[in-house]
């Protein structure tokens, strides 16, 4: 730990329990850091809400976390990262990291032929944020996106290993499984909770990219660069 280590906590928020997958990676890679986590379980899911609503919710949560004297903010929610990252960056005086750019970087690195899949909520997929970021990082890449709106409520219900969840996943992933993908971005921090199911359906040739974990690693890099 540098002598100039900033003892203030890292702020992390998500629309529900999904962000805990990102939080786990924060603790794994930054064991000396403290964290203030906000999971908006009262208003989950965000994926079916309007962009204006998601921005409002995100700003409200960020305001609360800033009052906890955080030194940076990790937006572990993909929908908030898709719609609210610019507003958060403009409003806050601390660094803000979302999940999109870090996970796109990892997916592109794992996709030499540029064949990338994205699964996420209706809001995240509808925003087009992932294909746009992939196009910037790897012009000419082939991207297939699929909204999986039932995953979040199934996971929040505790049905990660339920036959209904498998049946839903098989339906959602039909096109992606036959597309010759090299990587698949899990564009919702809830989705790592069903990684074994997704891995079994997609097969070993497809690299699953955990967006929340990649964002947590980006936070670690940021803090090291800033000497915090």
Of the listed 77, 85, 119, 185, which one is catalytic?
77
72 flagged as catalytic: no
Alpha-carbon dihedral sign for residues 16, 20, 22, 27: positive
**Count of Cβ atoms closer than 10 Å to residue 204 Cβ:** 7
Q: In what order do the strands lie in the sheet with 183-187?
A: 142-147, 115-120, 183-187, 207-210
In the chain, how long is the greatest CA-to-CA distance? 53
Query: Residues near 128 by Cβ (< 8 Å), separated by ≥ 6?
Result: none
Of the listed 12, 104, 186, 188, which one is catalytic?
188
148 flagged as catalytic: no
Q: Please give the positions annotated as active site.
A: 77, 188
């Amino acid at each position: 730990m540098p002598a100039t280590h900033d003892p203030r906590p890292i702020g992390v928020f998500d629309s529900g329990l999904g962000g805990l997958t990102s939080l786990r990676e924060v603790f794994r890679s930054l064991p000396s850091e403290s964290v203030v986590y906000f999971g908006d379980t009262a208003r989950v899911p965000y994926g079916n809400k309007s962009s204006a609503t998601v921005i409002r919710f995100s700003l409200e949560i960020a305001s609360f976390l800033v009052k906890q004297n955080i030194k940076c903010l990790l937006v572990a929610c993909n929908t908030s990262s898709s719609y609210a990252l610019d507003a958060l960056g403009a409003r806050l005086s601390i660094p803000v990291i979302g999940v999109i750019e870090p996970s796109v970087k990892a997916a592109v690195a794992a996709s030499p032929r540029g064949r990338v899949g994205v699964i996420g909520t209706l809001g995240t997929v509808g925003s087009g944020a992932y294909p746009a970021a992939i196009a910037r990082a790897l012009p000419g890449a082939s991207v297939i996106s699929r909204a999986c709106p039932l995953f979040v409520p199934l996971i929040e219900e505790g049905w990660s290993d339920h036959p209904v969840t498998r049946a839903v996943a098989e339906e959602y992933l039909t096109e992606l499984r036959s597309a010759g993908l090299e990587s698949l971005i899990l564009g919702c921090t809830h989705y790592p909770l069903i990684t074994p199911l997704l891995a079994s359906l997609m097969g070993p040739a497809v690299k699953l990219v955990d967006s929340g974990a990649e964002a947590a690693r980006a936070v670690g890099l940021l803090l090291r660069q800033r000497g915090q």
